[in-house]
Amino acid sequence: MFERFTAEARGVVVEAKSQAEARGHSSVTTEHLLSVLVDHTGVAGRVLIQAGLTRTVLDDFLGIDRAALEYLGIDLEQVLSRTRAMFPDQSARLPLRGIRFAAESKKALELALREAIRLQHRHIGAEHIMLGILRDQDNRACRLMVKRDISPASLRTSLETEIRAAS
């Protein structure tokens, strides 16, 4: 499936993974994908910003773990680095490090492929990943939007309008 991803779309996936890693999260969720897309200069990023999903808003959601622990006086980085030093051989099963793709993220990427086919595009770009995320209303990214009174369905409509206008 990934062979049809543009370099840009692959970049989104890779960056989402490193964002999750940097925050000490154990899996890459659609929120991490969303958090990368918001910085995207193309249509996907533009539509998100217009809807009010900014970098600050997403950081507030994603940064919770680290900031929450800081609130208690616990430095997550310290805990992680000591733990990795204690168990260097266990990285594969270390939930703190052995980061995996959440099922909902895999689903979003599969849906991205379907969206590209539906729109008769030969490639899968960042905008298709965004459409894929918006297709599954049960994922974390869509739930985050609903919490902020943003309708994933109407975001879909505006994104599709932009995509069609651009092509």
63-102: contacts with other proteins (CB under 8 A):
64-65, 68-69, 71-72, 74, 76, 79, 83, 86-87, 90, 93-96
119 touching other proteins, by CB under 8 A: no
CB 16 within 8 A of CB 32: yes
For the bound state, the minimum distance from the C-beta of residue 75 to other proteins, rounded and expressed in Å, comes to 11
7 touching other proteins, by CB under 8 A: no
Q: Which residue has the tokens 């958090």?
A: 35
Compute the distance between CA of residue 58 and CA of residue 56 in angstroms, rounded to an integer. 5
> Nearer to other proteins by C-beta: 6 or 91?
91
Q: How far apart are the first and last CA of the chain?
A: 23
14 touching other proteins, by CB under 8 A: no
Q: Of all residues in the chain, what percent are helix, strand and coil, respectively (each to 5)?
A: 70, 5, 30
158 touching other proteins, by CB under 8 A: no
